[in-house]
Structure 1
Amino acid sequence: MERDPEVQISHTGPDAGVGATMEWASDEPSVGNGRQEIIESVADTRVATALDFGDMGTAEAWFDLVPNGGGTSVTWGLNADMGMNPMGRWMGLMMDGMVGADYDQGLANLKALVEAG
């Protein structure tokens, strides 16, 4: 959300866990509009979400947490059906280059938040 300080965000459903939902709306094309709902929550292990990016499609994302020494390793994943048409499949191949830096920054932000306590 750092890309658009004016992004409109709303939360519905429970405060935490399955059903907790966040929606956002932005005029900034790199942010756009969307919805994310927690669909699975296993304490200290996994959180999975359903994402809806409107015209850009849907996806499922997850955070897997694994104990690692005195800390925790976090894996952030994304699964989206890119379809069988050549353009969709080409876009699928380009996803890491398109969003990889955003994932790295998001994980760094999560680390800083957790370590700040």
Structure 2
Amino acid sequence: MIFLYILGIVLAILIILVLVAPKHYDVQRSVYIDRPVAEVYNYLKSVKNQDHWSPWKKKDPGMHQEFVGTDGTVGFVSKWDSDHKQVGAGQQEITALAENERVDTHITFLKPFKSESDGYLLTKPEGQGTKVTWGFTGTHTVPMNVMMLFFNMDKAVGKDFEEGLADLKQLLEQNP
């Protein structure tokens, strides 16, 4: 009988955790780049250019990559596969482009765990330059949402976004 009480309490705690755990996420970071918005946007809409500033490419420069379609257009797909645990495997597809405003992508992660997110790069004129916002958003499924109670995605991924944006800024400002 004690076992049933303990089991009931454990199940009640699990149900409460599932109900209160975050189900949606939106991680983003921004940087100011001293370049015109059209120049920055044209660079960002090419997914292959991410190889020059992506923190994950720096973690595994030798990762296997495949590209399908015409880069910088809706439907272009970039696939990657890496044994590095922070890089994993997956693909990114351009889903929408708004000239000089945004690049939207759908990202499918295959390993180290399966998940899907929607990525975005926003460009906005600011003074003589451009404010770039890099982010991604999605929904956690059960039990992943419960695990997010113990893992700060904003802090973990945000750090990578900050590093990538700093490299992007340096790259674009030093190469007119």
Q: Please report the TM-score for the alignment, with normalisation by the length of structure 2.
A: 0.61
Corresponding position of 1:106: 164
- Cross-structure match for 2:83: 27
Distance 2:114 2:155 in 1: 17
Q: 1:82-109: per-residue Cα shift (whole Å, max 9, x none)?
A: 1254x51452761112111100011112
Please give the alpha-carbon distance, in whole angstroms, between the structure 2 residues aligned to 1:70 and 1:28.
39
**Structure 2 equivalent of residue 88 of structure 1:** 145
Structure 1 ranges of 4+ moved more than 3 A = none
- Aligned residue pairs, count: 116
Picking from 152, 155, 165, the partner of 1:97 is 155
Structure 1 equivalent of residue 116 of structure 2: 58
Match of 1:71 in 2: 129
Structure 1 residue ranges without an equivalent (≥5): none
Higher RCO (CA < 8 A, seq sep 6+): 2
Structure (1/2) with the larger helix percentage: 2
- Report sequence identity in percent: 35
Correspondence for 2:97 among 16, 41, 66: 41
The root-mean-square deviation of aligned C-alpha atoms, in Å, is 1.6
Larger Cα Rg: Structure 1 or Structure 2?
2
1-side partners of 2:119 and 2:146: how far apart? 19
For residues 62 and 158 of structure 2, the distance between their equivalents in structure 1, rounded to whole angstroms, comes to 24
Question: Structure 1 stretch 11-20 or stretch 45-54: which is displaced more?
Answer: 11-20
C-alpha distance in 2, partners of 1:102/1:3? Answer: 11
Instruction: Using the TM superposition, name which of 65-74 and 90-99 deviates more.
Output: 90-99
Structure 1 residue 42: deviation in Å?
1.0
1:32-77 deviation per Cα after TM superposition (whole angstroms, max 9, x unaligned): 0010000011111000000000133000010111100000001112
Mind listing any 5+ residue stretches in structure 2 that lack a counterpart? 1-56
